[in-house]
Amino acid sequence: MEAMRISNRFDRFVENCIKISPIPTKGKTGVKHLLRCTRRGELTWDPWIIKDEDRYYLFYLSGTNRSLKRAWWKMESKICAAVSTDLKNWENLGVILKPTSDGSWDSGRLFAGSTYKVDGTYYLFYSGAGVGAEFQNEAIGLATSTDGLSWQRSSNQPLLKPDDNNQWYGRYNSSFQWRDPWIVQHPETGLYYMFMTAYAREEDSNHYYGGCVGLAVADKISGPYTILPPAARPLIEGTSESPFYEMERPQVIYQNGQYHLFFSAFIKALNPKWLGQIGMQGISDSTVYWFTSNNITGPFKPVTSKPVLKGSEKTGLYGTNFFPLPYQSDVYFAYGWRHRLFMLDIDFSHQLNWQSQSIEIKRKSTSK
């Protein structure tokens, strides 16, 4: 009886997950592909969405976990895509970008990014790393497309990566964080600002907690980008340590006269000193953290001493991003991936209740 109840709950959960319709030329890669893939060792995570006229493009990561003892993020992950007209029914476009086979900077794994369309060209900013000793040495690359189907790398070199002598960004031991690029165009200057997960340089210490949100700027979306000081570099009072080891999947939205920065962090990436100050209430692996700034370049500061986005801890999502509803563009819904099941969740049920002085994620009916 208990097994039947679990099965029924799983079936109901499946109904709320992303539905992808098969494309004949791609074989049987429809709805069951994303939902059954975890049983075959194929995992999916870290989605992002763009709107292109009357279509929506979904991009996400996929990889095969050949060993349950191997960390999921160490897989040879690739970038996949799907297209929809309603954000509910999707046609799978399959793999659009995979690691190179020539041993270059992105031959080990690809990971999350963001995509934009400017003057008829799609720009896919992605993260990548090499093999062997380079597996944790991250950089940001760029691929382009004119049809959204066929993608070409803009170069065999990274688009953007600080050198070892950069005054603002460094590494912890062998790990160099430089990933999850998010682009915002300034409405007045037209400049393109890139926000990314990064690690702050510390000359006088080598502590574990140095997470920050990096920043770069360019005149054109294709670059070249100039590296700027961190947009957000939070510190625990009285220390040189960040509350975070990493500030993942940053997203910046301009609303109500301010720039709002949202990002995710697993509990294991939170500094125990900080948790000792703020407590665990409202903290889960799904919690979204919320900073604001009056300027696009920052500095972004936490909205309160405990800058959690209320209600986010209950969504069950990770790498949460926000996107306008198709039938109500001034209302955002939360989407991401079910980090315990490695399944995408593109669903309207978690929506932002955005007041002038507060934001909260509330569960809504998805009858529309």
CATH number of the domain where residue 238 is located? 2.115.10.20
Report the distance separating Cα 146 and Cα 164, nearest Å: 35
Report the distance separating Cα 225 and Cα 218, nearest Å: 5
> Which DSSP letter does residue 225 get?
P
Report the distance separating Cα 17 and Cα 343, nearest Å: 8
Is 57 in contact with 82 (CB distance < 8 Å)? yes
Alpha-carbon distance values, 298 to 60, 213, 230, 255 (Å): 28, 10, 8, 15
Split into its structural domains, the chain has a count of 1
Pick the closest to residue 161 from 189, 108, 125 (CA basis): 125
Q: Indicate whether 194 belongs to any domain.
A: yes
Query: Tens of pLDDT along 177-215?
Result: 999 999 999 999 999 999 999 999 975 556 789 999 999
Query: Tens of pLDDT along 248-281?
Result: 999 999 998 999 999 999 999 999 999 999 999 9
Spans of the chain below 50 pLDDT: 1-16, 21-36, 38-39, 67, 368
> What is the reported pLDDT for 18?
55
Peptide bond into 162 cis (omega under 30): no
Q: What is the largest distance, in Å, between two alpha-carbon atoms of the chain? A: 62
Which residues are within 8 A (CB) of 145 and not within 5 positions of it... i.e. 6 or more apart? Answer: 96, 121, 122, 124, 151, 152
Burial class (CB in 10 A: 0-12, 13-18, 19+), 175: middle
pTM of the model: 0.90
Which residues are within 8 A (CB) of 33 and not within 5 positions of it... i.e. 6 or more apart? Answer: 20, 92
Residue type, 172: Y
> What is the reported pLDDT for 40?
55
Q: Indicate whether 80 belongs to any domain.
A: no
Report the distance separating Cα 264 and Cα 288, nearest Å: 5
Structure tokens at 313: 């801890």
> What is the reported pLDDT for 22?
42
Report the distance separating Cα 155 and Cα 167, nearest Å: 26
**Cβ–Cβ contacts within 10 Å for residue 188, how many?**
7
Domain that holds residue 244: 160-308
Q: Indicate whether 299 belongs to any domain.
A: yes
Report the distance separating Cα 323 and Cα 318, nearest Å: 15
Burial class (CB in 10 A: 0-12, 13-18, 19+), 282: middle
Alpha-carbon distance values, 54 to 50, 83, 143, 303 (Å): 11, 11, 23, 36
> What is the reported pLDDT for 134?
84
Pick the closest to residue 138 from 115, 168, 158 (CA basis): 158
H-helix or E-strand spanning residue 231? strand 226-232
Token pair 């800058």 is found at 307
Termini Cα distance of the chain: 34
> Which DSSP letter does residue 238 get?
T
How many residues comprise the chain?
368
> What is the reported pLDDT for 205?
57
